[in-house]
Amino acid sequence: MPANIIEANTTPFDIVDVDPITLDLIENGLRNARFEMDAVLFRTAMSPGIREQHDEFPIIANRDGKMVVGQLGSFIHGFLSAYEGTIEDGDVFLMSDPYACNGAVSHLNDWLVLMPLYKGGRIISWSAMFGHMSDVGGKTPGSLPTDAGQIYEEGLIIPPVKLYRKGEFQSDIMELILRNCRLPHWNRSDLTGIVAANRIGQKRILEMAERFGEDVYHSALEELLERNKRAMRQLIIQNIPEKKVYFEDFICDDGIGMGPYKLACHMWREGDRVIFDFGETDPQSQSSVNFYLNEEMFKMFVGVFMIMVFDPQILFNDGFYDLVDVRIREGSFLKPRHPAALSCRTHALGRVMDLLNGLLGQSKPEFLCAAGMSDSPHFFYSGYDKRGEWFQLYQISFGGIPAKPIGDGPDGHSLWPTFTNVPNEFLESYFPLQIDVYETVADTGGPGFYRGGNALKIGYRFLEPGEISIHDDRWLTYPWGVNGGLPGGRSSKVLERRDGTVEHLRSKCDRIKVDVGDILYFITWGGGGWGDPFTRDADLVALDVRRGLVTAAGAERYGVVLTEELYADTAETEALRIKLTAERSDIQIFDKGGTIAELKARCLVETGFEPPESPRFDVRGTARAAE
């Protein structure tokens, strides 16, 4: 227990045996409390990012800050290791500075609230939650400027502060913070909802501790952590090779003309421990696409991935963290030096998922998933309406989920399983725009025995003058296919002006002026395919064509010949597949659509844009454009 918690709070608990029924009751009580925390926030937040899309992440942790239930791993370890003040009963902490918590939150828009939960004069548990604020100041509406060179350009930096001190609300701190935001009423509502969600977690935890006894409650949490560790130890031994495996993937560009940036990792096992070494990852960028990857967060990614693939019944928590060693070089793209900008880290955060998939799947290709919607593409629209009132939209777009060993990838879905879309009716009611198009894009899912999910296309018609910003990726590199599956389609953005002119926008751009009647077509990317596409049931391919998920021309990529009625011609299909199988090269585990050099050589023809300039790195390790 850190020294900043006064001695009376560290009085130890007695470890007692917890019978299976009681353990099950406490486990499910914690799960329910965690989802109740979600429900409280969704019903009280004002911003569509939290209220509609659920861009928030709660946890419940033991007294040491180890997450027992939650989503992204414990934020508390990073906080406790960096915080030097006191921690007392009734305190509620607020923070957003990634550099002050070892990356427990990874950009300034994520406001993290932490509550130590006391009973009988000692900490018995923690509740915590962060939510993405639609605006925290900075140089662009939405506070995610691609061209920021330092974190100071991105908005208000909140160090660990006590929003409540011994139960007393610090109103002056709240007013100071809100004065630095463009949408203070949204921030106030969202932050109040986060605090309320933590308090409902506190209420449920204290109820359980009162019902079962403090020692039983504490012992149950320790057993849930230990149970996870035992299960993960077996998964690691059974599925992680001792021989090093390597994988790399890329962020296409940094929004200021340089790229791609390599994210690379070696993985191997030593006994019952798995090591991840990111030593070959590129140095940090000059722009805001850096991702300060917290080691504890990455460990949770490892746990979630392995559990979902190999044994979904396991409750994932922090119990196994001692079995994972994560090595990230300071000054790299994944651990930039202060004061590097971090606001647009979402591309690398998602790409780490693909990287982890490529590493863990190599030793067991039958469990390997393709690459897919490994991002949370951002769309921003802001300005003043006819009444002179400020409006500001922040929205996360979806895309194609990768094909997997058990089936097709969903079309037009989110990287995060719990995220939901913003209803078009909500957008048209609260913002001066009209949704002309909302559909998935045929043929953007990679062909395979299982098809990758299709990309999403949204057509925004603007009803007021304003400006937009776009943050996306995978316009140069492809979401790769696996085990013979082909890559998914890449992203694109098209702005049709009301005078008929057409502009192709880059995947990362800010402050684009739009006028009444202009339409933006925001097209994301698809998921890669899994398995040989020539082995997919031809009737399923024909069904996809009739449903509009695959075009008639796209069916040829599966070697399927269609009748005039769009049904599979069995004889013609069999003949074509024999011919195509004989003509193609050997099937590879990964199909990335070409090397980086090949993709750059084809870039202008395929995308309409010149390839990004290869970054050069200065003596401090930061990418710079060529002189």
Q: Which residues of 395-404 are buried (b: 16+ CB within 10 A; e: fewer)?
A: bbbbbbbbbb
pLDDT for the residue numbered 190: 98
Read off the pLDDT of residues 43-69 as tens digits, 9 standing for 90 and up.
Answer: 999 999 999 999 999 999 999 999 999
Given a cut of 50, the residues of the chain with pLDDT beneath it are: 6-8, 627
State how far the Cα of 63 lies from the Cα of 7, in Å rounded to an integer. 14
Write out the DSSP string of 321-383: GGGEEEE--TTBTTBPPTTB--TTTHHHHHHHHHHHHHHHHSS-GGG-------S--EEEEEE
**How far, CA to CA in Å, does 121 sit from each of 12, 88, 89, 164, 214?**
12, 9, 8, 18, 12
Per-residue pLDDT at 420: 87
What is the reported pTM? 0.93
Rounded to whole angstroms, the Cα distance separating 471 from 353 reads 18
Answer for the pair 115, 124: CB distance below 8 angstroms, yes or no: no
- What is d(CA 365, CA 360) in angstroms, rounded to the nearest whole number? 9
Contact 32, 58 (CB under 8 A): no
pLDDT at 7: 43
Going from N- to C-terminal start, the domains of the chain cover 7-232, 240-293+328-364+597-627, 368-532, 533-586
Strands 390-396 and 433-441: unpaired
Q: Is the peptide bond before 487 cis (omega within 30 degrees of 0)?
A: no
CA pair distance 416, 421, nearest whole angstrom:
11
CA 221, chain centre distance (Å): 27
